Each structure stands twice: as C-alpha cells, then as structure tokens.
C-alpha cells in the first residue's frame, strides 16, 4: 500500500541502496540501516509496517531482529520478510518457523520484491478490516431497531423457564445462575436480607424487562436474591454468552452502563426518600411508581403483596396497613383484596411531605 513505512536491514551497501530505490519508486516510505541493533531502536521509537532484513547483519543478526520483533505486542504485527543469499530451503524453513511472514531468495528482480511487499500489505489490511467488522462495530445490528429492541432479540434463542409464585430464581452468592434474565410474563422482585430476616427490596421487574445486570458485569456472583412474585416465565442469557456479546458488540456495554447508572440513581433517590420523606409520601410515591411500571391508566391497579410493598418502602407491614387505610378513607385508593386501585393519582403524586 502506498505510503507504508518499510525498514531495510542489510550489510551490503549496494544491495541496500538498490532495494531502497526500488521501494521508494513504488511510493513507500523507506529507511535503511546495516545494524540489527540500530534497527530495533528505530522500530521501538517509530514502528514500521514492513521489515526487509538479511540474515547476516551487524551487532544483532536477522534472526535476532525477527525474534525481538515477535516478542513484543506493539511490534508483533510488523510484516517481516527475510532475504536469503542462496536457495537454502532448510534455512528458509527455519525462517518461517521463527515467525517470518515471507522470504526472498537471491537472485530476485524488482517485480518479485514489489509483489511480495504489496501482497503482504494487502493481506494485513484485509485482516485488519475483518477484525474491525467482527469485533468493533455494533452497527451490524439492524439499524431499524433501537438498542433495547436489539438486546431483547438476543434472548430469542433461549428456552423459557417457568417459576411458581414465591419460587426463588437464584440466591445471593450463586455463580451458576449469573446472566441476564428477561421476563416474558409475571413479575420478579430482587432483594437483600440480613441474618435476622429483615428484607429490603432493591427492584421489581415486570414483562419485557431484564434483571441480573450487576452480578453479570462484575462477573463474580449474584449480589441479590431474585424471587417470582407471580407465576413467571423467564428467558436467560448465561454469563459466558453475555461476555461474548460485549466482545462482539462493544457498544452494547454503553446500554448496560446506562441501565446500571439509572438503577443506582433510583436507589440513591430511594435512600433520600427514606432519610427525608414522611412515610405517607414514600408510600404514595411507591404506589404511583409501581402502577406506572405496570403501564396502567390513572385508575391503575397495583397487584403486589402487602409485605413486598412494605419491604420496598422500608417500613413495617403494620405501618403500611394503617397508611393504606387512611388513603382509602381520603378517597385516594380503593383496596380489593391484595390489590390497590388508584382513584386519585394526582393527589398521590402531589402528596405533601
């Protein structure tokens, strides 16, 4: 490729000058030296695209230069062509075994030299382009889909798993269940609990939402317990497949990062509510948030066990029952068994602290 940088390492001044001239006419940027040690200094300071080296050069011979180039990650990708003085096929085999990309046996003409350099450079460029296409481009995704729609499509190859009401999907500390879990139907709560049995719900997820992101990105173990609130159907992408997904489509990591940041922001807001808001306002806020989560209208229906709602707000069940009774008397909600029907969403949203 025109403009590629080539380093020529040869003791023979006339041959070195001739090869330099041929390559310069071919519109390559060429440097030359008769010293293997000097060549290594040049490569480390200013990496080149191609090295053309003889076997017998001063200070460090051609084999030493080849081994040094292949030893370091930053130089291992340099194309290395060895010049051989005679048709010594054993020597040629040794050169290739040590990691050279090609060799030229004397005598060779201008065309052979330019052809070998050009072929090697084109092959390297093709490999680089294929790597970029496979590993660094997210937009091999259908551009008609947004990121979340595309992510949801990744779950389609998974077999759904069914969980009964109150069945645990995974426990804190488990590794075998690491992965992203997508809800087809039902609801799932994630929570942490202490040794005394006190529970704090960290999230409630409904249809077309996924959970398990924190443990998956950390890659260590699940940090929470996940339990089905209702009869639930879930698809799962295992941890190893998520890692492959991130490798193949690096930009999907930004989707995960945004979702994780949003989750942490909601938890920060929740801690602020616990610290400064009255119990009435916290309960009202939770009811509105959960009915919006269920995509209900203003007269929404919240279907959630009282104990779970209390754990989500961070209060005792008895306190929750007392406040819900007050809301019922004030005409804000209506209770129907375990269900809460929102009658006045605006008043709940504007609840004073």
- Cα distances from 109 to residues 123, 204, 271, in angstroms, run 22, 74, 77
Query: Which residue carries 């005598």 as its tokens?
Result: 107
**139 pLDDT exceeds 50?**
no
Locate 330 and state its tokens: 């004030």
* Percent of the chain residues topping a pLDDT of 90: 10
**142 pLDDT exceeds 70?**
no
Helical (H) or strand (E) element with 18: helix 13-25
- Mean pLDDT over 291-306 rounds to 65
**226 pLDDT exceeds 90?**
yes
Rg (C-alpha) for the chain, rounded Å, is 33
Assign 138 a pLDDT band (cuts: 50, 70, 90).
very low
Distance in angstroms (rounded) separating the CA atoms of residues 95 and 73: 20
Locate 43 and state its tokens: 């490569």
Q: Kindly list the structural domains of the chain, giving each domain's residue range(s) and its CATH number in brackets, ordered by start.
A: 5-135 (3.40.50.2300), 147-264 (2.60.120.10), 277-349 (1.10.10.10)
In this prediction the pTM is 0.53
Q: Which of left, alpha, beta for 27 (phi over 0: left; psi -120 to 50: alpha)?
A: left
**250 pLDDT exceeds 80?**
no
In this predicted model, what pLDDT tens digit does every residue of 170-225 receive, in sequence order? 988 888 778 889 898 999 999 988 888 888 888 889 888 889 888 888 877 888 99
Contacts of 147-155 with C-beta under 8 Å, sequence gap 24+, read 147/251, 147/252, 147/255, 148/255, 150/252, 151/210, 151/252, 151/255, 152/182, 152/208, 154/237, 154/245, 155/180, 155/182, 155/210, 155/235, 155/236, 155/237
Distance in angstroms (rounded) separating the CA atoms of residues 343 and 288: 11
Which of 90, 93, 87, 95 lies closest to 61 in space, CA to CA?
A: 95
Distance in angstroms (rounded) separating the CA atoms of residues 41 and 32: 12
Query: What are the φ/ψ torsions at residue 230 (nearest 5 degrees)?
Result: -125, 180
In this predicted model, what pLDDT tens digit does every residue of 45-62 receive, in sequence order? 888 888 888 888 888 888
């Amino acid at each position: 490729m025109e403009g590629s940088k080539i380093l020529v390492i040869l003791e023979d001044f006339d041959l070195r000058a001739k090869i330099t001239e041929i390559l310069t006419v071919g519109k390559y940027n060429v440097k030359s030296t008769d010293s293997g040690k000097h060549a290594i200094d040049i490569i480390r300071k200013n990496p080149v695209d191609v090295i053309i080296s003889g076997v017998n050069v001063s200070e460090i011979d051609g084999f030493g230069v080849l081994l040094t180039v292949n030893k370091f990650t930053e130089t291992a990708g340099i194309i290395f062509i060895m010049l051989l003085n005679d048709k010594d096929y054993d020597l040629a085999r040794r050169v290739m075994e040590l990691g050279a990309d090609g060799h030229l046996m004397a005598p060779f003409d201008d065309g052979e030299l330019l052809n070998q350099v050009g072929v090697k450079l084109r092959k390297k460029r093709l490999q680089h382009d294929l790597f970029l296409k496979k590993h660094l481009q997210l937009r091999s995704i259908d551009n008609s889909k947004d990121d979340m729609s595309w992510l949801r499509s990744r779950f389609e190859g998974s077999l759904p798993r069914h969980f009964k009401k109150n069945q645990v999907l995974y426990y804190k500390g488990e590794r075998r269940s690491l992965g992203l879990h997508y809800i087809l139907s039902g609801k799932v709560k994630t929570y942490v609990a202490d040794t005394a049995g006190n529970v704090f719900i960290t999230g409630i997820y409904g249809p077309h939402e996924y959970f398990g992101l924190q443990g998956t990105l950390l890659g260590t173990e699940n940090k929470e317990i996940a339990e089905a609130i209702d009869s639930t159907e879930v698809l799962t992408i295992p941890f190893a497949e998520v890692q492959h997904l991130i490798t193949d489509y690096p930009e999907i990591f930004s989707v995960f990062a945004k979702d994780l940041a949003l989750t942490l922001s909601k938890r920060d807001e929740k801690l602020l509510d616990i610290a400064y808001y009255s119990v009435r306002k916290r309960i009202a806020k939770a009811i509105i948030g959960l009915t919006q989560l269920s995509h209900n209208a203003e007269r929404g229906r919240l279907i959630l066990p009282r104990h779970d709602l209390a754990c989500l707000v961070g209060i005792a069940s008895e306190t929750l029952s007392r406040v819900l009774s007050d809301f019922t008397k004030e005409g804000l909600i209506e209770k129907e068994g375990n269900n809460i029907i929102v009658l006045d969403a605006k008043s709940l949203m504007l609840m004073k602290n």
